[in-house]
Amino acid sequence: MDVLTLLCIDDRPQLLELRKALLESCGYRVKTALSGQAAMKMLEETPVAAVLLEYKTEGIDAEAVACHLKLHFPNIPIILLSAYACTPERMLSFVDERVMRNELSERLISAIERATGRSKTDEKRKAASASRTNEA
């Protein structure tokens, strides 16, 4: 069973560390970037299953990052994390999923599963099936 690698982009190190801890406790490998430039460099060197992008931050133009991602890495799904109910349609056109920050604990994992097309439940079933096959 492959562990999915996610890239989280946010200019607030404390929130990145919290998000990383949460996602790693759910079985994901997590890379973090404090800027759009750092994220682009990382994506050139490391394949990821999805990008989690914070919408409103001080040092990141989320729309420009999402546009660049879709242009250069069109197969990587983008999950937008936002505290704002009103997100411009143009921004939404670049993302595959949107999760409100106040719903992260309830919706983040299912959004990742939808965006990547992989369910943790399906992976557990495949692993169990493979171990039964190996035992036989």
Q: What pLDDT, on a 0 to 100 scale, did the predictor assign at position 120? A: 52
CATH number of the structural domain 5-135? 3.40.50.2300
Tell me, what's the pLDDT at 130? 45
* CA dihedral sign of residues 4, 88, 63, 74: positive
| Domain residue limits, the chain | 5-135
> Tokens in use for 99?
């999760």
pLDDT by residue, tens only, the chain of 136 residues: 589 999 999 989 998 999 999 999 999 999 999 988 899 999 999 999 999 999 876 667 888 899 999 999 999 999 999 887 777 788 888 999 999 988 877 899 999 999 999 755 444 444 444 444 455 5
Q: Which candidate, 73, 37, 38, 33, places its Cα nearest to that of 54?
A: 33
- Whole-model pTM: value is 0.81
- Distance of alpha carbon 53 from alpha carbon 33, whole angstroms: 10
